[in-house]
Amino acid sequence: MNIFLTGATGFLGGRLIRNLLEEGHNVYLLARNMGKAKELKDRLPLSLQGNVTILKGDIVEKNFGFSTDILSGLTKKVDIFYHLAALVKFDHHLRDTLMEMNYHGTKNALGVARLIGVPKFIHVSTAYTVGVSNKGQEKLYDLQQNFNNPYEESKALAEHEVMKYKDKMDVSIFRPAIIVGDSKTGEADSNFTLYGFMRGLELFKRKLERKNYHEKVHLVGSKEGTSNLVPVDYVADILTIAAKKATKNTIYNITNPTPPTNREILGTIKEHLQFKTLGIYEKGTAYTLTPVEIQLNSMIDVFEPYLDRSISFEDANTQKLLKGSPIAHLNMTHEILEIIVRAYFQPEKVKVEM
């Protein structure tokens, strides 16, 4: 098949492209940064590079800024449109940018797909359109619900926009939870979510070491709260089989049925970061933060909504999609968590072991 893809140079995009090419498909990549797109193509095996076409454009521009010639060259040529491009940041002051990229960018993608006559549109959203609720369902959420940040809201708006096109083409929505590194190697190309959190702790530990500060410091959260981590290879594999098996007008949660607790995650990070003085104050209990602890918690406050809750996600649609495929329903063990965290803090050691 001929497949058009936005978000090609992102963490998930690179994995998905490789999968699609190995399945024998031809891929058109939308790229704002041509240098990054060419690097991505050059890293592919020579046998696959001939099936990649890079098209310069921008998700926030009408028709991606494509010329009439490019649009006519794509018309009736594309079998599936994968929309992955998004800005993953949780800061409230970035609301306008998030809306432009994630909501209006999706509207532009749908417009292009419709214009060139694409029959199937696969939208990659996030499991966190669930907002403040602790029950994740495989259906559209009410836009009047409360969201933790403008990222969640922008993605929820985009989902509703996608479903407006269900009578014009086959649409499906895939909602990954927190995407982390490869389940076998830990390899990741991401600065967001778990990696932003680990980076923040790493920088803060260095700061304490420079000041020769050795007192215990605490994050505020829930020790038994969970973080729904999903390895990038699992997400990419599901999106790959979606090309042939996704049911129209269906929403799929790509989530972890047994997510690790915050205690388990923080313990693993502490071990590899060698940050023995780091602990957790249970939210809702009595504690007093020191000035240093106030600094620490404010430094990673964008992650706060995800550190004190446990969300239960339905994924019956995803399990049905996986049935009869070579992809097993996710079973993310502690060993996989160890691989992922170790690969961030000790990437050379992981490469040597491989």
Quote the percentage of the chain above a pLDDT of 90: 90
Task: Name the segment(s) of the chain with CATH classification 3.40.50.720.
Answer: 2-176
Task: Name the DSSP letter for residue 226.
Answer: B
Per CATH, which fold does 2-176 belong to? Answer: Rossmann fold (3.40.50)
Q: In the predicted model, is pLDDT for residue 38 greater than 50?
A: yes
pLDDT band at 349 (very low <50, low <70, confident <90, very high): low
Where is pLDDT greater, at 190 or 182?
A: 182
Least confident interval from 14-23, 272-281, 318-327, 341-350: 341-350
Angle at the Cα of 154 (from 150 to 157), degrees rounded to 5?
Answer: 135
Looking up tokens 């494509």, which residue turns up? 66
Least confident interval from 147-156, 293-302, 340-349: 340-349
Q: How many Cβ atoms from other residues are within 10 Å of residue 45's Cβ?
A: 9
Average pLDDT over residues 124-150: 97
Read off the pTM: 0.94
Kindly provide the residue ranges of all beta strands, DSSP E only, lying in the chain, ordered along the sequence: 2-6, 26-31, 52-56, 80-83, 120-124, 135-136, 170-176, 178-180, 217-221, 229-231, 250-254, 278-282, 312-313
192: helix, strand or coil:
coil
Q: In the predicted model, is pLDDT for residue 351 greater than 50?
A: no
Angle at the Cα of 116 (from 110 to 118), degrees rounded to 5?
Answer: 65
pLDDT band at 354 (very low <50, low <70, confident <90, very high): very low
Return mean pLDDT, the chain.
94
Q: pLDDT tens digit string along 7-24?
A: 998 889 999 999 999 999
